[in-house]
Structure 1
Amino acid sequence: MILHQFIDYELLRLIWWVLLGVLLIGFAITDGFDLGIGTLLPFVTKTETERRIAINVIGPTWEGNQVWLILGGGAIFAAWPPLYAVSFSGFYLAMFAILAALILRPVAFKYRSKRDSDRWRSGWDIALFIGGFVPSLIFGVAVGNVLQGVPFRFNNDLRVFYEGTFFGLLNPFALLCGVLSVVMLIMHGSAYLMLKTDGPIAERARSYGALAALVTLVLYALAGIILWLGIDGYVITSAIDPHGPSNPLMKTVAEAPAGWFSNYGAYPVLLIAPILGLAGAALAFYGFRARAEIATLLVSALSIFGMIASVGVSMFPFILPSSLDPRSSLTVWDASSSHLTLFIMLVVTAIFIPLIVAYTSWVYHVLWGKVDANSVDDKSGHAY
């Protein structure tokens, strides 16, 4: 096959860096309100009917939303094998905790109403809370650790060694990022709950959402200040070959104060990402107060887009820096699969991503409208 030669290797690497960001942002925006509503469940609902309404807001769509996470994991495995190897081995216990929490969610959806027992339902409600809170927290903690550098290294045979511990991941800055992730998704979940419900649930979601939007704004700004003043970034100090082999050891890297902000100085247009993160959260706060349902959900999604995109553009071309041996840091240029592999995957992605988007759009069109007591009391057995 020579068709892949028509697309430059450098361009393919850039395309897959962008696609990885799209998949992660897609997961955060779609499944993000599922996680946010799960976290909010004990606080926005007071009666059994209200709890069933909240659960039925996300019950029919959570599986489709989680496809973005599966696609993201698959993209990392196929397009960035060293990234997959380091992150999934180094963060093994953290990944296990996320998967265990996510597994609780479908089980809770299916079994919660199988017995007419308040104690039984309360137990599964706790499971839904764990399934929302724990992944939200750990995803943010992971981002905080990536920004600080992960303690791994390669030897001369490119064998990876991870020398960190699970509790070492729970450092102050990483926990700050974890809390930011939780409140960001609570903001997003509140916006979706306000759109899909009415009455007391919507009012409580509006109150929690406004508070979460304000806290998101403050914590995001605080994280940026700490990153600027107290955490060194990484810069490549040797020549860069965008067409070079996938060998991280063929470069030199140094730590630099405020290194993660150098891209903004070189390309000021990139400032749009953190501006969207801040502006989206601020607009969401006003949207909650004004009861602007659709607009609030949209600007909440815009805030999530800006915050996650700001991490990507700040770190570029790094995708996983090493605090143990900066030279071992993984970048867009030295951690990808082969030219042919990236091209084949791009063709497959060009076919299936539009199908997934079209199907998801159709599902939300069919399920458009508010969930109320009448819909959950439907005797057809379709409600959770």
Structure 2
Amino acid sequence: MILHEFLSYEFLRVVWWLLLGVLLIGFALTDGFDLGVGALIPFVGRTDTERRVAINTVGPIWEGNQVWFILGGGAIFAAWPPLYAVSFSGFYLAMFAVLAALILRPVGFKYRSKRDSAAWRSAWDWALFVGGAVPALIFGVAMGNVLQGVPFDLNPDLLPLYPGVFWAKFLGLLNPFALLAGVVSLAMLVMHGAAWLSFKAEGPVAFRAQDIGFYAGIVAIVAYAGAGVWLNFIPGYAFVGDVPTDGPSNPLMSEVVRSDSWLAAYGTRPWIAIAPILGLFGMVMAARGLRAGRQGSTLLFSKLGIFGVISSVGLTMFPFILPSSLNPDASLTVWDSSSSHLTLFVMLVSAIIFMPMILAYTAWVYKVLWGKVTEDDVRSHSDSVY
């Protein structure tokens, strides 16, 4: 308990904001290439064997990669309960679409090779495409809406309210800026999946992945730069007066107003510009690597690009996590939407114990499964699950 008293509430809130970012980035870096490969399967494989090569590059590891997705959801639920309640209520249909698409992946992986039928296998290949492309797109659309402010309010009991017609609210999420953010996410993860296939596959599958991934990288770079320019015209959020960083978790106790562009943060904290620079640099180098046929470095640069892009959003918005377009005072921030001091401390202790175990297990799995997947491997195991 002495350590608990030493670690201030403000410090633990920032730590869990950082850890949430780490979990989301970890999900994008690992399960992100699974989604990208799924979106590429119908296009990089022209024969059943070629498509099985693509599937077998991710088949043994995709379930382990989803640990980061589960941890991210659990961290939101435990460390940021208001964020969990508001976001899952407001993005209900979007979350349902993501989960439905993700459910197609295990079913597609397990059922695809159960019948030796071209039509059967083609149908599951397109199901895997949906399972990869739809979540990648929706995650970006959700982030685009967060940057613009989500239309919610909080009543005096802190219950989230979403006034308006249900379908109109859902269609309102599909606005131009959010769709552009969705394009960034989809193109970026397709590029990441292509980099993975270039690294893990051989022959025609790798060559086609390199070609498609190069153009996906160009789209991601242009769309990301365009979103950055557009963001200059989207009002940001700011506190009125000083805000206690160790106060109670009640957003309604702070006064928030719409302010200058989100990009004003780069004037007050110029060091955060490193994030978008890394994002653009990583994607440019990954696209160049795909064009040149480089493998290991291309995958690393793709990961660097994803790290920079996601980090740029979090650093630009800090300390805001989920701003409200209806009532800025209801906006959720790092300082007023966390769990209790004790809860954050206990969670941090748990994270310190279990995160190294997860990282060690993940590293071990990748070491065991090191090496390329070839057509000969697939042909010699024609009765395998994948």
TM over 0.5: yes
Q: Which residue of 1 aligns with 2:378?
A: 376
Distance 1:379 1:153 in 2: 56
* Whole-angstrom CA distance in 1 between matches of 2:264 and 2:247: 23
8 Å CA contact 1:239, 1:251 repeated in 2:
no
Gaps of 5+ in 2: none
Task: Provide the C-alpha distance between the structure 2 equivalents of 1:193 and 1:17, rounded to a whole number of angstroms.
Answer: 32
Q: 1:242 to 1:49 in 2, by over 3 A?
A: same
Give the alignment partner of residue 219 of structure 1, picking from 217, 220, 223. 223
SS where residue 321 of structure 2 aligns? strand
The 8 Å contact of residues 377 and 383 in structure 1, kept in 2 or not, is answered as no
Normalised to the residue count of structure 1, the TM-score between the two structures is 0.98
Mean CA deviation greater in 205-214 or 373-382: 373-382
- Write the deviation string for residues 19-76 of structure 1: whole angstroms up to 9, x where unpaired: 0000000000100000001111111110000010000011000000011000000000
Farther off after superposition, 94-103 or 115-124:
115-124
Report what 1:42 is aligned to. Answer: 42
Partner residue in 1 for 2:170:
166
Shift of 1:377: 2.2
One-letter amino acid of the counterpart of residue 62, structure 1: W
Residue 381 of structure 1 and its aligned partner are, at CA, apart by: 4.6
Supply the distance in 1 between the matched residues of 2:384 and 2:116 (Cα, whole angstroms): 17
Which residue in 1 is equivalent to 2:251? 248
Q: Does the 8 Å CA contact 1:90/1:162 hold for their aligned counterparts?
A: yes
Aligned partner of 1:179 among 172, 177, 183: 183
- Among candidates 275, 278, 283, match of residue 276 of structure 1: 278
- Structure 1 unaligned regions, length at least 5: none
| Partners of 1:86 and 1:162 within 8 A in 2 | no
Indicate which of 233, 237, 259 corresponds to 2:236.
Answer: 233
Residue 139 of structure 2: aligned partner: 139
State yes or no: 1:82 paired with 2:85. no
Q: How far apart, CA to CA, are the structure 2 residues paired with 1:379 and 1:157?
A: 59
Structure 2 counterparts to residues 102-117 of structure 1, below 5 A: 102-117=102-117
The residue matched to 1:150 in structure 2 has which SS? Answer: coil
Cα separation, 1, equivalents of 2:94 and 2:193: 23
Give the superposition deviation at 1:269.
1.2
Match of 2:303 among 282, 291, 301: 301
Post-superposition offset of 1:116 = 1.2
> What is the deviation of 1:352?
0.9
Q: CA deviation at 1:242?
A: 0.5
Query: How far apart, CA to CA, are the structure 2 residues paired with 1:315 and 1:138?
Result: 20
Paired letter, 2:115: R
Pairwise CA distance, 1:262: 2.4
Judge conservation of contact 1:56–1:383 (CA < 8 Å) in 2: no
Distance 1:223 1:154 in 2: 29
Runs ≥4 in structure 1, deviation > 2 angstroms?
377-383
Residue deviations 1:143-167, cap 9 Å, x none? 0000000011111221210236111
Amino acid of the structure 1 residue aligned with 2:81 = P
Instruction: Report what 1:204 is aligned to.
Output: 208
Residue 310 of structure 1: how far off its partner (Å): 0.2
Residue equivalent to 1:364 = 366
The separation in 1 between residues aligned to 2:179 and 2:235, in whole angstroms, is 18
Q: Distance in 2 between matches of 1:368 and 1:177?
A: 34
Secondary structure of the residue aligned to 2:253 is coil
* Cα contact 2:191–2:217 (8 A) shared by 1: yes
- What RMSD over aligned residues (CA atoms) do the two structures have, in Å? 1.1
CA contact (8 A) 2:40 2:129 kept: yes
Partners of 1:358 and 1:153 in 2: CA distance: 42
Task: Please state whether the residue corresponding to 1:249 is helix, strand or coil.
Answer: helix
2:333 paired residue number: 331
- How far apart are the structure 2 equivalents of 1:350 and 1:162? 37
Query: What is the CA-CA distance between 1:215 and the residue it aligns to?
Result: 1.1
| Cα distance, 1:122 vs structure 2 | 1.1
Cα distance in 1 for partners of 2:378, 2:153 equals 53
Structure 1 residue 354 displacement after superposition: 0.8
Q: Find the counterpart in structure 2 of residue 190 from structure 1.
A: 194
Contact 2:110/2:385 (CA < 8 Å) preserved in 1? no
Supply the distance in 1 between the matched residues of 2:381 and 2:18 (Cα, whole angstroms).
Answer: 46
1:265: Cα distance to partner?
Answer: 1.2
Which whole-Å deviations, capped at 9, do the CAs of 1:217-239 have from their partners, x for residues lacking one? 110000000001x2111111122
What secondary structure sits across from 1:376 in the alignment? Answer: helix
The answer to which of 299-308 and 371-380 deviates more is: 371-380
